Amino acid sequence: MIHTSNSFRHSSFRGLIGVAQADITPPVGIYSRNWGASKHDCAKGVHRLLTLTAVTFQVKSGDNPLVLIGADVSGWRSILTEKSFRQHLLQSLNIGSSQLLFCLSHSHSAPALAEPDPTWEGGALLREHLQRVEQAAVETAQQALRTATSATLEWNSGRCGLATNRDSRDPTTGRAVSGFNPENEADDALVVGRITSEAGRTLATIANYACHPTTLAWESTLISPDFVGAMRETIGSNTGGGATLFLQGASGELAPRYQYVGDVAVADAHGRQLAFATLAVLADMEPAGNDLTYAGLVESGAPLAVWKRTPFAAPTDLQAVNSSIDLPLKDWPSADALEEERAACTDRALEERLRRKRDIRRVLGNGKTFAMPFWVWRIGDSFVVGCMMEAYSWIQQYLRSRFSKFTIVYINLANGSIGYLPPSELYDTDAYPVWQTPFERGSLEALARAYEATIETLL
């Protein structure tokens, strides 16, 4: 929120904004195993449709756009596959690498984007799904650009209690586990964007919230966007049918209190909880294009300060930066050694862990550092930042405190997915995100400093 002693307004941008959506639901029977504990490999039905949403931003017609895409995808199995996918999008849309953010909702009941492994049941359908999502991303972004109209994007912030801390200990063994920890506080920040046309119609609602979509787990055999599906439905039915874009925040340690179930009604309830919180934030906003301005003093039983709604000119700044930072890597075994260990493993859950670790090692190489790409956009007086990691919420809290006069939209799993970024102090524990991540202690804080420096240059 932007405010002075005599005015108040939401962070905003005015320009040409386009919005479009597509259905990317894969066929039943596709390989969709995201849980080591799963007894099944293939999806046996559909809970709710998977969706891809594109929003484009331009100052005026003919300008190079910023293209923001959100998709109901769990993750990428390979950085190389993601790079090829993104390069095709950039070429098809004729934009530079800094101008595209392809973001994953991270539903653990949606298939990953991957080239098939010949040993996977239902794996043959993965290539078809990858191609379908790629085509939908191009066509939906092109449709958004064709139908772009003069509109205003405004941001407001609120809270939602869906996310809880999940770094906990088994009470019997003391082992570090991933599940509800009622003793640790959770970042409950909810950042909501509203896109309004000149005619006053809500074109889209953006919900940036940090919470793992892990309501549905190994017991569910259904394709599902998890809580994101019911969230979209509920918001859409209360905003005149405009699109809803969910952007996953820095949720490394955040997940619903009640999760790991097979009951889709629980996921839908979680989605409505987030939707109602989003609608409350929308109801708290001033009419599009209006600020509150101090209009003077009225003497009554008390001296009354009168504020009035006044039209204002929203900023039109659009800037995009794609940079990178060298992050130190752990001393892991080679990919060949990990594959030998995986091939000899007879435990289904452990074998899945080794497969994922092998895949990470293959794409990172055998060096001591990895050049981690990251993106920073300035849209009016807000900043959209993101990279491929599953960062802990500390990073979004840090940036929001550092740049408190601006809206910070933080996105995990943007333009790729590879692993966690936990805070330095967690490396003294045996928590899953610590032994899963290929990156050494201090990487989260280094990325935060890189974001900070880039935002400062854009200011």
CA distance 318 to 458: 10
Residue 306 lies in a domain: no
Residue 348 pLDDT: 67
The DSSP-derived string for 107-127 is -TTSPPB-PPPTTSTTTHHHH
Residue 316 in domain: no
pLDDT of residue 237: 95
Assess if residue 346 is contained within a domain: no
Which pLDDT score is estimated for 57? 98
Cross-strand pairs, 155: 193
Q: Would you write out the chain's pLDDT as a tens digit for each of its 459 residues?
A: 677 778 889 999 999 999 999 999 999 999 999 998 999 999 999 999 999 999 999 999 999 999 999 999 999 988 889 999 999 999 999 999 999 999 999 999 999 999 888 888 999 999 999 999 999 999 999 999 999 999 999 999 999 999 999 999 999 999 999 999 999 999 999 999 999 999 999 999 999 999 999 999 999 999 999 999 999 999 999 998 899 999 999 999 999 999 999 999 999 999 999 999 999 999 999 999 999 999 999 999 999 999 999 999 999 999 999 999 999 998 877 767 767 777 788 776 677 777 777 777 777 777 789 999 999 999 999 999 999 999 999 999 999 999 999 999 999 999 999 889 999 999 999 999 998 899 999 999 999 999 999 999 999
Q: List CB contacts of 225: < 8 A, sequence separation 6 or more.
A: 47, 48, 49, 50, 51, 72, 105, 107, 109, 110, 213, 232
Q: Is residue 226 part of a domain?
A: yes
Query: What per-residue confidence (pLDDT) applies to 365?
Result: 73
398 within domain boundaries: yes
Q: Is residue 327 part of a domain?
A: no
Asked, for residue 228, whether it belongs to a domain, the answer is yes
Total domains in the chain come to 1
Report pTM.
0.95
Contact between 163 and 210 under an 8 Å Cβ cutoff? The reply is yes
Residue 132: what pLDDT? Answer: 97
Query: Within a domain: residue 360?
Result: no
The domain in which residue 76 lies consists of 11-284+374-458
Q: How far apart are CA 222 and CA 38, in angstroms?
A: 12
